[in-house]
Amino acid sequence: MPQNLNPANPTTVMPKQLCKSFQEDLRMEALMNQYPDGSSDRLALAQNVRHYFRMMQGLNGTDWANMRQFYINQQGRAFYFYNLRETVPMGSYDPTGQNTVGRYTVVFDGQWSDTYNVARTDVAMQLREVV
């Protein structure tokens, strides 16, 4: 029953240096049944789009270690993430999480996966907005 769900209550903010590495994706989740004659039934699972943030750039050694520690500390818990493109002024950041402009409540979506290169480490991960 929906009444039994507890809302996310984050107390942690992802560090600004780590927020710079993500790209925003917008998704409208839906159920779709496709039939052999080519027809389909579609049902939206939400009324609004859901924000996902995908890691897009490689991390240097220090940022990788900080991201790994943050990932381990936040497993299964919601936290605040600032989309620096939406903050006012653009690129601003509030380490306390009080400023709501550009702030999203997110969780890690999926498991940690990384690939080591010469100067950078590529981390395959994404964040999923929760309400």
Token representation of residue 99: 């400023």
**Nearest CA among 73, 56, 85 for reference residue 10:** 73
Residue 57's alpha-carbon distances to 54, 114, 118, in angstroms, are 9, 12, 14
> What global pTM score does this model have?
0.80
Question: How far is the C-alpha of 101 from the C-alpha of 88, rounded, in Å?
Answer: 7
Residue 5, pLDDT above cutoff 70: no
Average pLDDT along the chain:
87
Rg, the chain, Cα only? 17
Handedness of CA 60, 65, 68, 70 (dihedral sign): negative
Identify the band that residue 9 occupies on the pLDDT scale cut at 50, 70 and 90.
confident
Which residue range is the domain that position 23 belongs to? 2-129
Contacts of 91 (CB under 8 A, 6+ apart): 84
List pLDDT tens digits, range 76-124: 899 999 999 999 899 899 999 999 999 999 999 888 888 887 777 888 8
Total domains in the fold of the chain: 1
